[in-house]
Amino acid sequence: MAHTTSNPKIHEGRNLKRFREMLQIKQDYLAFELGEDWNQQKISLLEQREKIDSDILEQVAAILKIPAEAIRNFDENQAINIITNTYHDHANDNSFNQGTIYLNPIEKIIQLHEEKIALYERMLKEKDEMMGRLERLIGGNKFSI
């Protein structure tokens, strides 16, 4: 079993543990899926290794349904830097569409209620106008008996 060659700062076992936890998969389940030779303690030891044998890493990645390269190359510090630079520097930047954010949902509810009332009033006005036209039509065609 050959070891993978990777950046010395990257700890494959720790990365495996992070992905496993993000996916909410228990060590016992991973051990069961790997076969009879595996148990929870062995998975725990695997997660402590800086480098994991390529074939084992491929099996684990298949069980987690993620690419093995994600485990091999995930660098937490780099990910934190990307997230910090992306979201911190642009937190108040309107250069990209962030969608509509309602800071006060009560105000939005009040606005919708007012729009509904205005619509109802327009409908009542139209109904009154239609009734007036109908009355004029009927009034203009009086039949004498």
Domain ranges of the chain: 12-88, 101-140
> Do 30 and 60 touch, CB atoms closer than 8 A?
yes
Q: Which of 101, 34, 100 has the alpha carbon at shortest distance from 62? A: 34
**Token pair 């349904």 is at which residue?**
65
Burial of residue 41 (CB within 10 Å: 0-12, 13-18, 19+) is: exposed
Q: What is the pLDDT along the chain (145 residues), one digit of tens a residue?
A: 454 444 557 899 999 998 899 889 999 999 999 999 999 999 999 999 999 999 999 999 999 998 888 888 887 777 666 666 666 544 455 445 555 565 677 888 888 889 999 999 999 999 999 999 999 888 866 555 5
Q: Which residues pair with 123 in a beta bridge?
A: none
Count Cα neighbours of 106 within 13 Å in the Cβ-side half-sphere.
0
Please give the model's pTM, rounded to 2 decimal places.
0.51
CATH superfamily, domain at 12-88: lambda repressor-like DNA-binding domains (1.10.260.40)
* End-to-end Cα spacing for the chain: 110
Residue 3 neighbours by CB under 8 Å, 6+ apart: 51, 52, 53, 54
